[in-house]
Amino acid sequence: MRVLRVKHQRYITAFLSSTIILLLLCFQNSLLVFNYGSYGFLSESSPCACHICVADRGNSNWFSERYDPNVPILLNSNNSVLSANVSRWWKELQSNAGNYTKVMDQLFSLFPDEEHYSDTGPDRCRTCAVVGNSGNLLGSNYGPLIDFHDFIIRMNKGQTEGYEKDVGSKTTHRIVYPESAMDLDNSTHLVLLPFKILDIQWLISAFTTRHITQTYVQVPSTIKANKDKVMILHPEFIRYVYDNWAERHGRYPSTGFLTLIFALHICDEVNVFGFGATSDGIWHHYFDKTLTSYEIGVHAGKFENETLNRLQQENKILIHMGWT
């Protein structure tokens, strides 16, 4: 009887142990599925080697409805012919549209005419910092974190000298238009944001004849930059951001918003710095105290800000708000 009792107890122990192990395995699998949906754990079909892949459209219907991986991002001779809808919309943004075809011929004889950032794949993990110009960067000590990224994308006249501790010292890409242009070092890509044909004409002039000194304000006749690292955002990309992401709010998207969506297309992981107000609700640049507001002007700042927050909710970007 004692032998039978011992065997019975062993059977019960073995059964309970097996049940516990099975439950733990089920729980673990459920946890992994939860983590993949919430935090971007890699799957077999992951489009990149990062933990969170921006281009993964399978984990967000909201993102998938807006993100078009086939939109042309940068101009080159193979994609420079504009559709009628894009051409009409883009020309409506400008008061004096020049000869687009002639300008394109000049452009690609001077600057690199090639595809960029077509190396996406499951083995790549390109981390990017999109650095805005908000005063919330002051006192943040984000400098080392920003500089740690593969790409550091800045915009307009956001300077680094004197602010390295908070904004970093490196820049791989700077998004500008003629009215916001500044000199760059030889390693930085100048990415022109053309709101009008005159912007592209200015770019050509700045590296050749230097005869364009006025748009709607005075602009520099030349700029220090590496000619072989010049890029031009495609007008169709600007229209795509306006249609899909700004949902046609405002007249056209802001530079910061266009820069962010640009990053979603060339990066695998996107961290955002220097967007929004300070903790006390003040909107100003970290480098000059000039007050700004997202609620006035031609841009739909409030809607863009809501979209920015939604991108974070969908685990597509991570917003670093600063310390002030």
36 is in an annotated binding site: no
Max CA separation in the chain (angstroms): 107
Burial 253-264 (b: 16+ CB within 10 A, else e): bbbbbbbbbbbb
Helix, strand or coil, per DSSP, at residue 64? helix
pLDDT digit string, tens, across residues 132-158: 999 899 999 999 999 999 999 999 999
Nearest to 74 by CA among 229, 225, 207, 182: 229
Assigned CATH class of 57-320: alpha beta
94 is in an annotated binding site: yes
Is 252 considered catalytic here?
Answer: yes
252 is in an annotated binding site: yes
Whole-structure pTM over 0.85, yes or no?
no
pLDDT digits (tens), the chain, 324 positions: 444 444 445 544 444 444 433 333 333 333 333 333 333 333 446 789 998 899 987 889 999 999 999 999 999 999 999 999 999 999 888 877 678 999 999 999 999 998 888 888 899 999 999 999 998 999 999 999 999 999 999 999 999 999 999 999 999 999 999 999 999 999 999 999 999 999 999 999 999 999 999 999 999 999 999 999 999 999 999 999 999 999 999 989 999 999 999 999 999 999 999 998 777 777 778 888 776 655 556 667 889 999 999 999 999 999 998 754
Catalytic residue among 142, 252, 286, 294: 252
Catalytic residue among 149, 234, 265, 299: 299
- Distance of alpha carbon 177 from alpha carbon 155, whole angstroms: 9
- Distance of alpha carbon 9 from alpha carbon 6, whole angstroms: 5
Strands (E) across the chain are located at 127-131, 151-155, 173-176, 189-192, 230-232, 269-273, 317-320
156 is in an annotated binding site: yes
pLDDT digit string, tens, across residues 264-299: 999 999 999 999 877 777 777 888 877 665 555 666
Q: C-alpha distances in angstroms, 256 versus 153, 193, 251, 290?
A: 10, 11, 15, 17
216 is in an annotated binding site: yes
Is 299 considered catalytic here?
Answer: yes
285 is in an annotated binding site: yes
pLDDT digit string, tens, across residues 35-53: 333 333 334 467 899 988 9
